[in-house]
Amino acid sequence: MNQPTSTPWPVVLTVAGFDPSAGAGIIADLKTFAAHNCYGVAAITALTVQNSQGVASVHPVDPAVLRASIRSLLSDGRVKAIKIGMLSNRAIAEVIGEILESNPDLQAVLDPVLRSSSDYGLLDASGLDYIRQQLISRVTVLTPNLAEAAALAGIPVDNVESMKAAARKLVEMGARAVVVTGGHLDKAIDVLFDGTTMESFAGDRVKPENTHGTGCTFSSAIAANLALGRQLRDAVVLAKAYVVEAIRQAFSTGPGRIPLNHLYRMSQPVRVTDHAPAAAEVTR
52 part of a folded domain: yes
Which residues on adjacent β-strands are paired with residue 283? 200
Q: What is the pTM of this model?
A: 0.91
pLDDT > 90: percent of the chain: 75
125 part of a folded domain: yes
31 part of a folded domain: yes
> Which pLDDT score, from 0 to 100, does residue 284 have?
62
pLDDT band at 166 (very low <50, low <70, confident <90, very high): very high
List pLDDT tens digits, range 60-101. Answer: 999 999 999 999 999 999 999 999 999 999 999 999 999 999
* Single-letter amino acid code for the residue at 183: G
Number of domains in the chain: 1
Angle between helices 63-74 and 90-102 (to 10 degrees): 20
2 part of a folded domain: no
Does the pLDDT of residue 9 top 90, yes or no? yes
List pLDDT tens digits, range 253-281. Answer: 899 888 999 999 887 665 555 444 444 56
Query: Could you write out the DSSP letters of every residue in 201-245?
Result: EEE----TT--BTHHHHHHHHHHHHHHTT--HHHHHHHHHHHHHH
CATH code of the domain containing 202 = 3.40.1190.20
5 part of a folded domain: no
24 part of a folded domain: yes
Query: Using CA atoms, how far apart are residues 25 and 33, in angstroms rounded to an integer?
Result: 12
Full domain range(s) for residue 215: 11-265+275-283
Distant-in-sequence contacts of 249-256, Cβ < 8 A, 24+ apart: 250/207, 250/210, 252/52, 253/21, 253/22, 253/23, 253/52, 254/21, 254/51, 254/52, 254/53, 255/52, 255/53, 256/51, 256/52, 256/53, 256/54, 256/118
136 part of a folded domain: yes
List pLDDT tens digits, range 133-161. Answer: 999 999 999 999 999 999 999 999 999 99
4 part of a folded domain: no
